[in-house]
Amino acid sequence: EYIESGCNVITTNTFRTTPRTFMKAGYTDADALKLSKKSFKMAVKAAKNAKNAKNILIAGSIAPLEDCYVPSEFPGKIIAKNEFQFLTDMVSKSGVDIILFETMGSYNEIETALQVSEYIKMEKWLSIILKDKNHLLDNTKIEKVVGLAMRSNIDMLLINCTSTKIINRNSRKRTNY
């Protein structure tokens, strides 16, 4: 339906299909992998069957390891390195066009995810969530995140799950649309 409505980028429904999330809910690693693989296959099939198939890109979503709104729950770089390595390898082999690190609000988590994915030769997008106009949820300055994204060859830096009131707060010039 999204493609038929004119979208040329679709995102896999894998935001929370990680072994960590599934185990917390009482499921197994195998359940998480099965659902992730199904989501990848469905997105690839939808893109291939589209009338404008050659213009459709698929972004494989990778979420923060814990709640994206609580960056203090980041499990630490050692744990995160192993989990992000597994997730980025899985996404990169799934037939998608883009790895999308989605709704990231912790600098340490972003840094870890980008480090383990450096060797992957495909487009990578980073979507961040802001606390205020100038900071991630963990209070890291946006300039530091932009610098990391540039050094890490991120193709697209996005902001999501952030109120437009936050983005526009304290602007000198306000535009009414």
Q: Tell me, what's the pLDDT at 177?
A: 41
Distance from C-alpha of 98 to C-alpha of 58, rounded to nearest angstrom: 6
pLDDT at site 12: 96
- What pLDDT score does 138 carry? 97
Q: What is the mean pLDDT of residues 79-94?
A: 96
Q: Strands 130-132, 9-11: parallel, antiparallel or unpaired by DSSP?
A: unpaired
pLDDT at 176 over 50: no
Does residue 173 surpass a pLDDT of 70? Answer: no
The reported pLDDT for the residue numbered 174 is: 47
What confidence tens digit (pLDDT) does each residue in 97-119 have? 999 999 999 999 999 999 999 99
